[in-house]
Amino acid sequence: MSDLLNQASLVYIPSGYKEDTAYSVIPTDGSGDLTFTRASDGTRVNSSGLVENVPWNLFTYSEQFENSDWLFGGLGKPTMTDNFAEAPNGTMTASKMEAASAGYQLRQNNAQENTQMNLSVWLRTNTGTKTIQLFINNGSTASQNITVTTTWTRYEINGFVTSLSGGGRNGLNTFESLTSSSYILVWGAQTNTGTTAKPYFPTTDRQNVPRLTYEGGCPSLLLEPQATALNTNSENAAGWTAVGSTITSDSTTSPSGVQNADTITYSSSGSRIQQDFTISDTKATLSVFVKSNSGDGAYLIIRNNTTATNLVTVAFTGETFTAGAGGETISYANGWYRISVTATSGISSGNTLRAYIYSDSGQGVVSGSSVYVWGMNCTNTSYLQSYIPTTSAAVTRVADAAYKTGISSLIGQSEGTMFVEFKHSITNTTEDTRFILSNNTYDNWLFFSIENGTSLRYYMTTAGVNLLDTTISNVFPTAGVYKVALAYQDDLFTIYVNGVQKVNNTNSTTIPAMSAFLLSGKEGITSAVELVNKQINQAALFKTRLSNTELAALTTI
Domains and CATH numbers, the chain: 5-42+400-555 (2.60.120.200), 71-193 (2.60.120.260), 227-397 (2.60.120.260)
β-pairing verdict for 227-229 and 395-397: antiparallel
Render pLDDT for 241-262 as a digit per residue (tens, 0 to 9): 999 899 999 999 999 998 899 9
CA 202 – CA 59 distance, rounded (Å): 9
CA 65 – CA 155 distance, rounded (Å): 17
CB burial string 8-34: b at 16+ within 10 A, e below: bbbbbbbeebbbbbbbbbbbeeeebbb
Backbone phi, psi, residue 327, to 5°? -85, 155
Instruction: Look at the alpha carbons of 438, 486, 213, 227 in this order and tell me if their dihedral is positive or negative.
Output: positive
Contact (Cβ atoms closer than 8 angstroms) between residue 191 and residue 168? no
Q: What confidence score (pLDDT) does residue 531 get?
A: 64
Render pLDDT for 346-397 as a digit per residue (tens, 0 to 9): 999 999 999 999 876 554 456 777 889 999 999 999 889 999 999 889 999 9
Neighbours of 463 (CB within 10 A): 10
Q: What confidence score (pLDDT) does residue 514 get?
A: 94
User: Is omega for the bond preceding 55 within 30 degrees of 0, making it cis?
Assistant: yes
Burial of 100 (0-12, 13-18, 19+ CB in 10 A): middle
Nearest alpha-carbon partner for 281 in 366, 379, 199, 203 = 379
Q: What confidence score (pLDDT) does residue 215 get?
A: 85
Instruction: Look at the alpha carbons of 460, 461, 466, 467 in this order and tell me if their dihedral is positive or negative.
Output: negative
Render pLDDT for 43-62 as a digit per residue (tens, 0 to 9): 999 999 999 999 999 999 99
Q: What confidence score (pLDDT) does residue 522 get?
A: 46
| Residues lower than pLDDT 70 in the chain | 1, 295-296, 316-326, 360-366, 521-532
Instruction: Look at the alpha carbons of 232, 234, 237, 243 in this order and tell me if their dihedral is positive or negative.
Output: positive
Q: What confidence score (pLDDT) does residue 126 get?
A: 98
